[in-house]
């Protein structure tokens, strides 16, 4: 997939400690190597669909015990994926208007 990062995700990555950065970069490299078909169908460990009350299609990629990479996929080009944010799992679970399910895609 073609992966781009929003500014807030870049900031979160840069502010992470060295151990977290390694985990995040490993997860992002895995994501970069996926095809759109694999993203949706492979059952790749750690990708979860988020239920957004706004209707926006978001996904969370697990990048360690407590780190989550929040993703969106371009509706017009399934090859393009945007890293919206990087956050702690507990913070993600507390966001209003968003429901984090522990169910993987496939």
Domain boundaries along the sequence of the chain:
2-104
Burial of 98 (0-12, 13-18, 19+ CB in 10 A): middle
| Residue range 2-104 in CATH 3.40.50.1000 | no
| Best CA proximity match to 95, nearest among 64, 60, 47, 44 | 60
Mean pLDDT computed over 97-104:
58
What's the pLDDT tens digit per position in 65-90? 889 999 988 877 878 999 999 998 88
Q: Which of 3-17, 25-39, 92-106 has the lowest mean pLDDT?
A: 92-106
User: Which two structure tokens, joined as six digits, stand for 101?
Assistant: 């399910």
**Winning range, highest mean pLDDT, from 40-44, 64-68, 95-99:** 64-68
């Amino acid at each position: 997939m073609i992966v781009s990062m929003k500014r807030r995700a870049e900031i979160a990555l840069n502010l992470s400690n060295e151990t977290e950065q390694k985990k995040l970069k490993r997860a992002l490299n895995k994501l970069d190597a996926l095809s759109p078909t694999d993203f949706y169908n492979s059952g790749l460990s750690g990708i979860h669909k988020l239920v957004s009350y706004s209707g926006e299609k978001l996904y969370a990629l697990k990048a360690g015990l407590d780190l989550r990479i929040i993703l969106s996929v371009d509706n017009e080009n399934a090859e393009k994926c945007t890293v919206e944010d990087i956050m702690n799992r507990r913070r993600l679970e507390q966001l209003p208007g968003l429901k984090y399910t522990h169910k993987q895609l496939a």
